[in-house]
């Protein structure tokens, strides 16, 4: 023990410095995270609204699954790999330009079937397409009943090719009571 630092000791000092630095970084980052408001913001959303958000994102990210043709003023072929998000953006743009919604009936049936199959059985899904600068929906699949008191909604904004935007709104409502339930 001469009091000098030898070359073997330099490696140990570097490792000790790294361990102390790492422990300090963990301590600082954990204290910052404990004071941040990230967790309460997530907890403020109800489980049902998160469910609607996930359902909408899931369906919009899926492909349509079958080749089909739509009438957008002229016949247009959509391949089965086309994303629902792209189809709805195209449909919203066509509807805003005055194309009849009946030309998209096959596409709308596919989208509604996907929503109904993915939605929990305790709710009925409804889809609205709203042009961002207007308050009236361009399309409602199917028409939302007026007498529903509980509604959970989630929306996504899609940007069209020209830079305009449409908002796709998923509304989840409890199923309407049928006549058989009343008997």
Separation between Cα atoms, residue 161 and residue 95, nearest integer Å = 14
Q: Is residue 78 within 8 Å of residue 67, measured between CB atoms? A: yes
Instruction: Give the pLDDT band (50/70/90) at residue 104.
Output: very high
User: Within 13 Å, how many C-alpha atoms sit on residue 34's CB side?
Assistant: 6
Q: Are 55 and 170 in contact (CB under 8 A)?
A: yes
pLDDT digits (tens, 9 = 90+) for 116-154: 988 888 888 989 888 877 777 888 888 777 766 777 888
- What is the reported pTM? 0.66
**Domain-wise residue ranges, the chain:** 46-176
User: DSSP H helical segments within 47-183, as ranges?
Assistant: 47-61, 84-96, 105-118, 179-182
d(CA 108, CA 128): 11
Q: What pLDDT, on the 0 to 100 scale, is given for residue 6?
A: 63
């Amino acid at each position: 023990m001469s009091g000098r630092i030898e070359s073997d000791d330099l490696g140990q000092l570097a490792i000790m410095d790294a361990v102390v630095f790492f422990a300090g970084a963990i301590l600082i980052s954990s204290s910052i995270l404990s004071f941040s408001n990230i967790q309460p913001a997530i907890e403020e959303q109800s489980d049902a609204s998160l469910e609607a958000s996930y359902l909408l994102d899931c369906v919009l990210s899926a492909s349509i699954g079958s080749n089909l043709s739509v009438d957008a003023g002229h016949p247009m072929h959509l391949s089965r790999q086309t994303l629902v998000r792209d189809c709805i953006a195209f449909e919203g743009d066509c509807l805003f330009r005055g194309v009849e919604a009946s030309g998209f009936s096959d596409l709308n049936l596919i989208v509604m079937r996907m929503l109904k199959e993915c939605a929990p059985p305790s709710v009925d899904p409804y889809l609205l397409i709203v042009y961002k600068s207007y308050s009236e929906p361009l399309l409602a699949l199917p028409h939302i009943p007026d007498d529903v008191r509980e509604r959970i909604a989630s929306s996504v904004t899609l940007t069209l090719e020209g830079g305009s935007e449409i908002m796709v709104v998923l509304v989840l409502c409890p199923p309407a009571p049928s006549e058989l339930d009343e008997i």
